[in-house]
């Protein structure tokens, strides 16, 4: 009876063993079937880790270099475009006749006088004259000059100045020399400005311009609606003997000088009216 119990016990023990082996076998069989999908090795050796880090660094550097090259290429394209513009600008200047009207920068007063005279006569404004400036390069050659007005048909040159400035003898002479050397011959100081002109300038001021010697147009600003001393005296009737300097009359330049002196003395407001 005791032996049988032992055998029964062995029998009971062996039965689950067979079941376990079967389960393990099935599990191994399944794992073998899926080994290509689930099974892999990770190399964690120090050398391998260092190589992976080095590869990542090289890849990052390659990306940075690519971006830098792209930026350099864009900058080079921009620089090439800028150079091409400059070359085109220089070529246009070289192809243009130097003795011609330009857009040379000047004062608003000069622009007003130039426009009025050009509209009447067809004269050229800011006329470019090679070696027409009194200023010189470091090599001693005179720089390019820009005459305020040039009448190409009559070969006349004019320089505009404020009434308080002196006669621009040196600059006018340089214009004439440069124009005769580089813009064909026959140029001289202009004398055909005509009668004094009142030119609208701003909402409060006019410009009074007049011939002030050969080749010179002088001007001064005066308030609109206010008659200046010079214009008042210029419109007065003098004695029959107008050649007499002892009579009431003063010449036009003296009138302008009087106005300039009064302006310097602070007798005018900013808009040109009397204080």
For residues 65 and 242, which has the higher predicted lDDT (pLDDT)? Answer: 65
Model pLDDT for residues 11-66, shown as the tens digit of each residue: 444 555 455 455 544 554 545 554 445 455 555 666 677 777 777 887 877 777 67
Q: Which two tokens stand for residue 81?
A: 């475009």
Instruction: Say if residue 247's pLDDT is above 50.
Output: no
> Which position has the token pair 């029998």?
11
Count of CB atoms situated within 10 Å of the CB of 127: 26
Contact 185, 227 (CB under 8 A): no
Instruction: Say if residue 186's pLDDT is above 90.
Output: yes
Dihedral sign of CA atoms 126, 131, 136, 137 in order: positive
What's the pLDDT band for 151 if we cut at 50, 70, 90? very high
Q: Which two tokens stand for residue 86?
A: 């400059």
Query: Shortest CA distance to 235 belongs to which of 219, 215, 249?
Result: 249
Mean pLDDT (whole number) for 209-231: 82
Q: Please give the share of the chain, as a percent, with pLDDT higher than 70.
A: 58
Q: Give this prediction's pTM.
A: 0.53
What are the DSSP calls for the chain, one per residue?
-HHHHHHHHHHHHHHHHHHHHHHHHHHHHHHHHTHHHH-------HHHHHHHHHHHHHHHHHHHHHHHHHHHHHHHHHHHHHHHHHHHHHHHHHHS-SSSB------HHHHHHHHHHHHHH-PEEEEEETT-SS-B-TTSPBPPEEEEEEETTTTEEEEEEETTSPP-HHHHHHHHHHHHHHS-S--EE-----S-EEEE-SSSEEEEEEE-STTEEEEEEEETT---HHHHHHTS---S-TT-TTSS---HHHHHHHHHHHHHTT-B-TTS-B-
Question: How far from each other are the two terminal CA atoms of the chain, in whole angstroms?
Answer: 148
What's the pLDDT band for 115 if we cut at 50, 70, 90? very high
């Amino acid at each position: 009876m005791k032996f049988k119990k032992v055998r029964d016990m062995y029998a009971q023990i062996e039965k689950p063993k067979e079941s376990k082996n079967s389960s393990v076998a099935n599990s191994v069989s399944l794992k073998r079937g899926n080994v290509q999908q689930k099974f892999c090795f990770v190399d964690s050796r120090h050398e391998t880790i260092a190589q992976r880090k080095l590869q990542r660094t090289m890849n990052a550097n390659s990306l940075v270099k690519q971006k830098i090259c792209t930026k350099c290429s864009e900058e080079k394209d921009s620089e090439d475009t800028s150079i091409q513009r400059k070359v085109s600008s220089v070529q246009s200047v070289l192809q243009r006749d130097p003795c011609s009207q330009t857009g040379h920068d000047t004062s608003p007063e000069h622009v007003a006088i130039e426009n009025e005279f050009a509209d009447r006569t067809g004269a050229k404004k800011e006329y470019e004259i090679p070696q027409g400036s009194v200023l010189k390069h470091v090599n001693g050659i005179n720089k390019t000059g820009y005459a305020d007005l040039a009448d190409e048909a009559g070969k006349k040159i004019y320089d505009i100045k404020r009434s308080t400035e002196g006669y621009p003898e040196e600059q006018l002479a340089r214009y004439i020399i440069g124009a005769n050397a580089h813009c064909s011959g026959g140029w001289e100081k202009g004398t055909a400005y005509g009668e004094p002109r009142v030119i609208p300038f701003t909402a409060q001021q006019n410009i009074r311009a007049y011939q002030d010697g050969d080749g010179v147009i002088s001007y001064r600003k005066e308030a609109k609606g206010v008659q200046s001393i010079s214009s008042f005296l210029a419109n007065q009737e003098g004695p029959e003997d107008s050649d007499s300097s002892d009579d009431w009359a003063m010449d036009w330049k003296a009138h302008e000088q009087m106005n300039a002196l009064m302006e310097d003395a602070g007798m005018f407001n900013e808009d040109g009216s009397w204080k």
